[in-house]
Chains A and B, each alone.
Chain A
Amino acid sequence: MAAAHTVSTDVVFRVRRFDPTTDAAPHWEDYRFAAPAGMTVLEGLRHVKEALSPTLAWRSSCRMGVCGSCGMFINGRPRLACNTQIAELGGALVTIAPLPNFNTIRDLVPDLAPMFEAHAAAKPHIIRDNAAEQREPTGEYWQSPRQLEEYLQFSYCIKCGCCMAACPTYATDPEYAGPMPLAQGHRYNADSRDGGFAERKASLAGERGPWRCHFAGECSRVCPKGVDPARAIQLMKRQLVFDYLRLWKQPCPAPLAKSPAGVERREGIPDAPARTI
């Protein structure tokens, strides 16, 4: 509900439209409306759909920058539409196109499947040799705060694809894994609970690996969560080079933290709740 003192500015949303059932090629359409102060690009798109063009299609969900659905190419940069205020773009014209370097399914909807495929190939999960423990955990793994810091930053990734859209290598080379899969591969290599460096090397040390990254740094500049995939990729290269030069070996994965035997629970501390899965 707009307050009486809210100032509205006239804006033009120049949107790349493409309907594969009717259009031969994408084309731009302009939508002019009054945007109240504080309106985000996502809210603007919703207004366009409600009032001006009901056929406009895009992906969005949480509208607060945590789900990663609404990545778009806004005024020449990959951004999250929900995280981008119209006012911060500076100007009355807002150009919105689907994320580049991905096929466009329709309007502003990119086909992110290749990115998720590359992500799966990086084996983004804890790999240890004790499969039984992984399936039926009996305790926690020891990890110090310093060990957590080694990978915590990279775990904030919401898989929005903005980094992939900004990467110059991914712009020409679909074989390149891309910033997100590589950063997530490193997130697990750097995790002290993980023992899967050798297994990930099979896909990461080859042609799809970090060698095609030349530190243009755009992935880190556009990342809406501060994940800094460029840092992760350079650290991954360092690890791989030192591994080749035999200057580094994967340490043993973090041990299991078992409660010492014969120790009574202190009075007043309740038992843990029963497992639900």
Chain B
Amino acid sequence: MIDNKGRPNRLGVVGWLGGGRWGLERYLYALHRLTGLGLLAYFVLHIGVTASRAFGEASWTAAMGRVSGPLFKTGEFLVFAAFAFHALNGVRLALVELGFAIGKPIEPVYPYRTSVDEQRPLAIGVMVVAAILVIVGGFGFLE
């Protein structure tokens, strides 16, 4: 292991969030992480809450009562939105990270058209579909 000379200069977690001069995909990556963590937190609680159905109707009704306030309903809508984004962006990532939709290696001629440019239509497409899903599903929450 080579000795590390010099003063540390890593960007740290700020590097995950970007800094304003970065591309769309970096922000999608940051949002994917954020929605993933949100979904995981909700999911762990969800397992606990829905397990109450094993104890019968009274237990279930009580549990549903506890999570029916306006704050919870807003939270559930956010979870639905997070799912819509995370799932569709995940489809894009699964395709791209398995080498699809990024184009073949080419002789680089300036201005370079990179894999990021090749998959950009897919990225826009999944965001549009996610937005449609959120709007359609959101109507259910308005009731």
Q: What residues of chain B lie closer than 8 Å to A232, measured between beta carbons?
A: 105
User: In the complex, A151 Cα to B15 Cα: how many Å?
Assistant: 29
B23 interfacial by beta-carbon distance below 8 Å: yes
Query: Residues 35-79 of chain B: 1 if any A CB is under 8 Å from the residue's CB, otherwise 0?
Result: 000000000000000000000000000000000000000000000
Residue of A nearest to B26 (CB): A216
Interface residues contributed by chain B, number (CB under 8 Å) = 44
Closest 8 CB pairs of A and B: A171-B15, A226-B108, A238-B99, A103-B6, A226-B112, A217-B116, A231-B115, A171-B11
Q: How far is the CB of B24 from chain A (nearest CB, A)?
A: 9
Query: Residues 68-108 of chain B: 1 if any A CB is under 8 Å from the residue's CB, otherwise 0?
Result: 00000000000000000000000001001111001111111
Is B9 touching A100 in the complex (CB atoms < 8 A)? yes
B8 interfacial by beta-carbon distance below 8 Å: yes
B13 interfacial by beta-carbon distance below 8 Å: yes
A26 interfacial by beta-carbon distance below 8 Å: yes
B142 interfacial by beta-carbon distance below 8 Å: no
Choose one: B1, B2, B6; the contact of A105 (CB below 8 Å): B6
User: In the complex, A226 Cα to B25 Cα: how many Å?
Assistant: 18
Extra pairs beyond A217-B26, A230-B102 (8, CB < 8 Å): A105-B6, A168-B16, A172-B10, A214-B97, A217-B114, A220-B116, A226-B109, A235-B105
Residue of B nearest to A117 (CB): B2
Q: What residues of chain B lie closer than 8 Å to A171, measured between beta carbons?
A: 10-16
Is B6 touching A104 in the complex (CB atoms < 8 A)? yes
Give 28 CB contacts A-B under 8 Å: A101-B11, A111-B6, A149-B104, A154-B105, A156-B108, A168-B11, A171-B13, A172-B11, A172-B16, A214-B93, A215-B96, A216-B29, A217-B23, A217-B114, A223-B112, A223-B114, A226-B108, A226-B114, A228-B115, A230-B114, A230-B116, A231-B102, A232-B105, A234-B97, A234-B99, A234-B102, A237-B99, A238-B99
Q: What residues of chain A lie closer than 8 Å to B97, measured between beta carbons?
A: 213-215, 234, 237-238
